[in-house]
Structure 1
Amino acid sequence: MIIETKRLSIRTFQEKDFADTLAIYKDNETCRYLLHDPWTSETAQDFFKVKISNNQLKQDQMLNLAVVSQDKVIGDLYVWYTDMRDTVELGYSFNRAVSGNGFATEALQELIHVLFEEIDIHRIQVNIDSRNSPSKKLCERLGMRKEGYFIADYWNKGEWTNSLVFGMLYSDFLKSVGPMNRSA
């Protein structure tokens, strides 16, 4: 799968992407709200091999996609099916050095377009730590609806955390982007 936008290429991970991907995941702040700790020299290769092997979206397999700008991986998009029919959950991580440039919005907008129009997904959801303000704002920019706020529902990194759940149907997507606002 290769997706092109005005500024980005979104594709499966390749061996050559290791250093750029490590730069994303070795950062403490980037990993603060993720379910794993920052990558270390001992763990990075194993984590990266999983990203390479997650190269197709299947009922039992997550899809990882590299977000590439000027031949450099600046982000990681991940998609997996939930237990509900034709419903997927999205996750994303970007190199903090590129934050504020609209890359996450552009990449996710186009991925959401592909999921709805080419893969015929019924519903997309995102589940985030409620303290993750940038991610909350991103979901809102994408036209997602806040559907739930759960108090102390997830044990992560030694503490109970609150979760926000955002959701979107195809009709929500069409309202949020319209034909003139598409990035590609």
Structure 2
Amino acid sequence: MSDIITDRLIIRPFVEADAAELFEYISNPRVNCFMDDKVTTLEQAKAKARKRAKDKTCLAVCLKETGALIGELLLHHDGPEQADTFSVGWNFNEKVEGKGYASESTQALFEHLFTQRDARRLYAYVEDNNFKSQKLCEKLGMRKEACFEEFISFVNNPDGTPKYENTFVYAILKKEWQRAGTPKSPTN
């Protein structure tokens, strides 16, 4: 995939040199679904950056002005039986929160998936206590389709038993995206 460029951001594949900035936000995950990604050393972050560099489902979100890595976008293709459907997600450094970067980058990704990858449907899983991601989904025009009660466990309770999370499913169809008036297209 070629880089996606917006007014303030570059969305590109990861490179090993992203390790230090990747370490900054995956060393302390704020959402339980990213706990499996948690690292405690820069060496572990380097290994994660190398792995992400080979992974086409994980894209680095960088500031256009400085090149600094500020987060990542995740996209998973649902396979040949649903070639036009993608699961999407995001994870950002809390230091850049509230500046619109998550919104800007996900809008650009959605536009790319709908226009360049012929996506028909995009969906996201969001934990019921992740209010910021819920708000982002709504800003993107996604509708809440379901709530899976005690859907998945990423962490344990203090007694060691799994802590199951309620998870919302948000989705948007290409025709809904187009009808809403797609945001300004990114420059490639």
TM-score, normalized by length of structure 1? 0.88
2:58 alignment partner, one of 56, 64, 81 = 64
Q: Secondary structure at the match of 1:19?
A: helix
Which residue of the partner structure matches residue 99 of structure 1? 97
* Percentage of identical aligned residues: 31
Q: CA deviation at 1:183?
A: 5.7
* Distance in 2 of aligned mates of 1:106 and 1:164: 22
Work out whether residues 29 and 35 of structure 2, in 8 Å CA contact, stay in contact via their aligned partners in 1.
Answer: no
Which residue of the partner structure matches residue 145 of structure 1? 143
Displacement over 4 Å in runs of 4+ = none
Which residue of the partner structure matches residue 182 of structure 1? 184
Q: Secondary structure at the match of 1:157?
A: strand
Work out whether residues 6 and 183 of structure 1, in 8 Å CA contact, stay in contact via their aligned partners in 2.
Answer: no
* Distance in 2 of aligned mates of 1:135 and 1:33: 12
* Distance in 1 of aligned mates of 2:35 and 2:149: 17
* Distance in 2 of aligned mates of 1:183 and 1:26: 33
Structure 1 unmatched ranges of 5 or more: 56-62
Deviation readout 1:53-112 (Å, 9 max, x if unpaired): 113xxxxxxx21111102100011111112551211011100100000000000000000
1:65-80 alignment runs, 5 A limit: 65-69=59-63, 70-80=66-76
- Larger C-alpha radius of gyration, 1 or 2? 2
Bigger RCO (CA 8 Å, 6+ sep) = 2
Which residue of the partner structure matches residue 111 of structure 2? 113
TM-score, normalized by length of structure 2? 0.86
Which residue of the partner structure matches residue 128 of structure 2? 130
Query: Cα RMSD over matched residues?
Result: 1.7
Q: Higher mean Cα deviation, 132-141 or 33-42?
A: 33-42
Work out whether residues 106 and 183 of structure 1, in 8 Å CA contact, stay in contact via their aligned partners in 2.
Answer: no
